[in-house]
Amino acid sequence: MSFTLRSVKVAPNSASLEEARIRVFDFFRSACRSIPTIMDIYNLDDVVTPSQLRASIASQIRKNCHITNPKVIDMLLFKGIEELNNVVEHAKQRHHIIGQYVVGSGGLVQDVGTKDQANSNFLKNFYETNYF
């Protein structure tokens, strides 16, 4: 825990949306540049290509593209940097990376049956994936 906190520095708030935007791109670049290290330490060469991981990182960022409040973007950016640090520090295991970023939210098992269409959304999400 402590080594994570040491490596994560909280930058001052972004003054404007434009500054927050630039920070997001910088973060995306640093994440992309650490992809070779990540593939090396988690031994991902046989399950995923660097471009797939790049697309996966981009889709995580794009999931929040509607947000226009710089403070919220800063907060999400902080969480992203924290996550990236955890990944690069090998604080995770291989199946975390594969489940979260390789298989993604689509899930390995797709249930296309008709039997539980009326079930609650909670249950459907529960069956689908651990990761949100």
Partner 1 sequence: MASALRSAVLRHIRVPVAETLTLNGSKWSLISNVRSMSSHGDDHITKEEIIHRVLDVVKSFPKVDPSKVAPDVHFQKDLGLDSLDNVEIVMALEEEFKLEIPDKEADKIDSCSLAIEYIHNHPMAS
Minimum CB distance to partner 1 smaller for 37 or for 130: 37
Give the Å distances, CA to CA, from 59 to 9, 20, 38.
25, 18, 18
Minimum CB distance to partner 1 smaller for 26 or for 111: 26
- Length of the chain measured in residues: 132
The CB-of-56 to partner 1 minimum distance in angstroms stands at 11
Kindly tell me which residue out of 61, 88, 102, 103 binds partner 1, with binding defined by CB under 8 A: 61
Q: Is 33 in the site for partner 1 (CB under 8 A)?
A: yes
Q: Is 50 in the site for partner 1 (CB under 8 A)?
A: yes
Determine contact, residues 86/100, Cβ cutoff 8 Å: no
Kindly tell me which residue out of 41, 47, 55, 103 binds partner 1, with binding defined by CB under 8 A: 55
Q: Is 17 in the site for partner 1 (CB under 8 A)?
A: no
Alpha carbon 20 to its chain centroid, in Å, reads 18
Considering only residues 73 to 112 of the shown chain, the ones binding partner 1 according to CB under 8 A are none
Q: Is 26 in the site for partner 1 (CB under 8 A)?
A: yes
Give the Å distances, CA to CA, from 52 to 47, 57, 67, 80, 101.
10, 9, 25, 18, 9
3-class secondary-structure state, position 99: helix
Q: Is 29 in the site for partner 1 (CB under 8 A)?
A: yes
> Which one of 37-45, 47-55, 93-101, 104-112 is the stretch in contact with partner 1 (CB under 8 A)?
47-55
130's CB contacts (< 8 A; 6+ apart) are 99
